Amino acid sequence: MIVLDVTDPAQPKVAVEEETDRTVVSFAVFDNVLFCSGKGALEIYELSALPMMRKVSVLEGTVGGSTLIVDGSGKHLFLSGWDKGFDIVDFSDLEKPIYVSGCGCEYHSDDDEWSDRNNVKPCGITQMEKRGDFLIAIAMEDNVRKHREALLICDVQRLEEPRLLSRISTSPIRTHAMAVSGDYAFAGGYEKILSIDIKQPEEPEIVGEIELRGVCEISSFQEKTAYMFPEVSYYHQTEIALSELSTLPIRFIQSLLAGHLCLLRQATILPCEKT
């Protein structure tokens, strides 16, 4: 893990270089505290005396996933855990964080009776957001034959007893990413973005969609314009067929200002207008 000192943006430098005990897959910072969600444990570091960084505690047993949310109360964490769903951790005592509860990503798919009978779950939760008493999450799926991808809405008002409130299938686009803006969730997969009305959390409804093109050479940032450009990576130096590029999944969605979303493919960045 590396912490950069950018107090002088013209001369950034390494302030801390620390080897973590395990692979860290997501992190968050809150009030001079760094939370690292790793495979098998949550690590907590104090940052108030940078460049010195002190490991405060380790909570063993968490799964470690791609999303870590610090609750607005400043007392609880929500950690995505792939097919386990998500974990809730009380960190009001940084020296002794406590596992509170968890909620799985159970599902039912008429197209995948074998997995249902054998209790095989989707690949699991990748992105999630907490809005009030609800946690909205996307359960991903890579297997085009399984049809197990879904948007999940969980009631977390009682942290000790979170429950799956509703689920809506996002098949067959193999969703990987999600963002929430107002009363809508936007779920992204391999071929499309789905607009999902979540005003009534018990009954989410798909109300719109947009198909994604492989490449679009529009560099304009004008209002109401969709644009896409290659991510700075080895893909930028390599020729990729349109059909190959368009099969790359949307890995991350972030809600922007002025009714726009920013979508991150493995090889592209695609902001597009929300209607």
40-71 pLDDT per residue, tens: 899 999 988 888 889 999 999 988 888 899 99
pLDDT band at 110 (very low <50, low <70, confident <90, very high): low
3-state secondary structure of 245: helix
Confidence (pLDDT) at 232: 27
* pLDDT the model gives residue 96: 96
Q: Which amino acid does the sequence have at 56? A: V
pLDDT, tens digit, for every residue of 74-89? 899 999 988 788 999 9
What are the structure tokens assigned to 83, written together? 């097919």
Could you read off the pLDDT of 131-179 as tens digits, one per residue? Answer: 999 999 998 876 667 777 899 999 999 999 999 999 998 888 888 888 8
Q: At 237, phi and psi to the nearest 5? A: -100, 5
Listed in sequence order, the DSSP H helices in 8-138 are 113-117
H or E segment at 57? strand 54-60
Average pLDDT value for residue range 256-269: 57
Mean per-residue pLDDT over the chain, rounded: 77
pLDDT at 159: 96
What pTM value is reported for the model? 0.76
3-state secondary structure of 142: coil
Q: Which residue, 66, 24, 21, is CA-closest to 176?
A: 66
Q: Which amino acid is at 222?
A: Q
Q: Where are the domains of the chain?
A: 1-97
